[in-house]
C-alpha cells in the first residue's frame, strides 16, 4: 500500500469531495493484512445497487487503455501473409527472436491450451491474481475484453473506482490457431507500476488458472466469478506457492509450459 500512498494523498488533497464520496459509496475497507480481507465484505462494499452488474463491473474495471496501443493487431507486428508459408516451429522462432531483445512479455501458446483458456474466459471473464512482493503479496484484478486481458492493481481499483486504468494488457492473436496450431501473445505494461518479470508472473498465472487440468485450481476462478462470497484470497496464494510461481521472480519470457 505504501507504493500507492502518494496517489491516495493526492486525491484526498486535490479532490476531497470526490475522495469522501467514493469512500462513503463503497464504505470503509478494513485495514487488514494483505490476504486476510473477507472477499464477501469486499464485494458488498464495491457493488453498486443501481442495476444488476457483474463482479468485474462492480470492481470498476472498464479495460481502459490508458497509454496503450489502440487496436493492436497482429499485422502491426508481423507480416501474417508471409509467415503463413512457414511452419509453426519457424513462426515460434521468429516470434521469440523478435521479442527477445524487447523489454516485454511474450509467448507462443498451443492452440488447444488457448482454446481451453478462451472458453473458460467466456464463462469467467475476471479473476484475482497475487503478485509476490518483498513483503507479502499485491493483488491484481484481471479482466478479459475479447482476446485482450487487462490487469490493474486491487488498490488502484479501490482508490480510483471507475477511473482505474489498465496497468498491463496481454494481447492474444488467434489468427494462426487453426492453420498452424499456435496462438501468439505479447503485452504492454505501464512501467511506473510493473517491470517485465512482474508482468511475466501475472502472464504465467493466467495459464496456471485458466488452462489447468486440476478442477480445484480452475474452481477458484469459477468461485470468484459466480460465488464471490465464498472466495478466499489465501486460496490464490496457496495455489501460486504450490505451482512454484510464487518463488523468486526471474525476468524473461512468459512460459507457455505452465
Domains of the chain, by residue range, sit at: 72-248
**Residue that is written with C-alpha cell 486504468 in the block:** 165
pTM listed for this prediction:
0.72
pLDDT digits (tens, 9 = 90+) for 134-168: 888 999 999 999 999 999 999 988 888 777 889 99
Position 247 confidence tier, pLDDT thresholds 50, 70, 90: low
Burial class (CB in 10 A: 0-12, 13-18, 19+), 122: exposed
Rounded CA separation 221/225 (Å)? 6
Q: Mind listing the pLDDT tens digit for each residue in 185-210?
A: 999 999 999 999 999 999 999 999 99
In which band, very low, low, confident or very high, does the pLDDT at 10 lie, cut at 50, 70 and 90?
A: low
What is the pLDDT confidence band of residue 24, given thresholds at 50, 70 and 90? Answer: low
Instruction: Let me know if 175 is exposed, middle or buried by CB neighbors in 10 A (0-12, 13-18, 19+).
Output: middle
Contacts of 158 (CB under 8 A, 6+ apart): 26, 29, 46
The average confidence (pLDDT) of the chain is: 78
Kindly report which listed range (14-18, 116-120, 176-180, 241-245) carries the lowest average pLDDT score.
14-18
Helix runs in the chain, H state only: 5-14, 16-26, 39-46, 55-58, 80-83, 88-100, 111-123, 154-160, 177-180, 196-210, 215-226, 233-243
Amino acid at each position: 500500500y505504501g507504493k500507492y500512498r502518494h496517489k491516495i494523498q493526492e486525491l484526498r488533497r486535490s479532490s476531497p469531495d470526490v475522495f469522501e464520496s467514493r469512500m462513503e459509496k463503497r464504505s470503509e475497507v478494513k485495514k487488514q493484512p494483505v490476504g486476510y480481507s473477507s472477499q464477501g465484505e469486499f464485494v458488498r462494499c464495491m457493488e453498486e445497487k443501481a442495476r444488476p452488474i457483474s463482479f468485474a463491473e462492480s470492481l470498476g474495471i472498464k479495460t481502459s487503455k490508458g497509454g496503450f496501443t489502440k487496436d493492436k493487431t497482429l499485422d502491426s507486428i508481423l507480416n501474417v501473409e508471409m509467415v503463413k508459408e512457414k511452419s509453426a516451429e519457424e513462426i515460434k522462432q521468429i516470434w521469440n527472436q523478435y521479442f527477445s531483445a524487447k523489454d516485454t512479455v511474450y509467448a507462443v501458446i498451443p492452440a488447444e491450451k488457448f482454446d481451453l483458456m478462451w472458453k473458460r474466459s467466456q464463462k469467467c471473464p475476471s479473476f484475482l491474481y497475487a503478485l509476490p512482493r518483498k513483503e507479502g503479496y499485491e493483488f491484481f484484478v484481471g479482466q478479459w475484453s475479447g482476446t485482450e486481458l487487462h490487469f490493474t492493481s486491487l488498490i488502484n481499483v479501490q482508490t480510483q473506482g471507475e477511473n482505474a486504468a489498465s496497468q498491463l494488457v496481454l494481447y492474444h492473436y488467434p489468427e494462426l490457431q487453426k492453420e498452424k496450431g499456435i496462438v501468439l501473445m505479447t503485452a504492454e505494461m505501464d512501467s511506473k507500476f510493473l517491470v517485465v518479470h512482474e508482468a511475466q508472473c501475472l502472464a504465467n498465472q493466467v495459464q496456471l488458472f485458466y488452462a489447468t487440468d486440476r478442477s480445484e485450481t480452475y474452481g477458484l476462478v469459477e468461485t470468484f466469478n459466480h460465488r464471490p462470497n465464498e472466495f478466499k484470497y489465501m486460496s490464490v496464494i496457496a495455489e501460486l506457492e504450490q505451482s512454484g510461481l510464487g518463488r523468486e521472480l526471474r525476468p524473461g519470457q512468459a512460459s507457455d509450459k505452465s
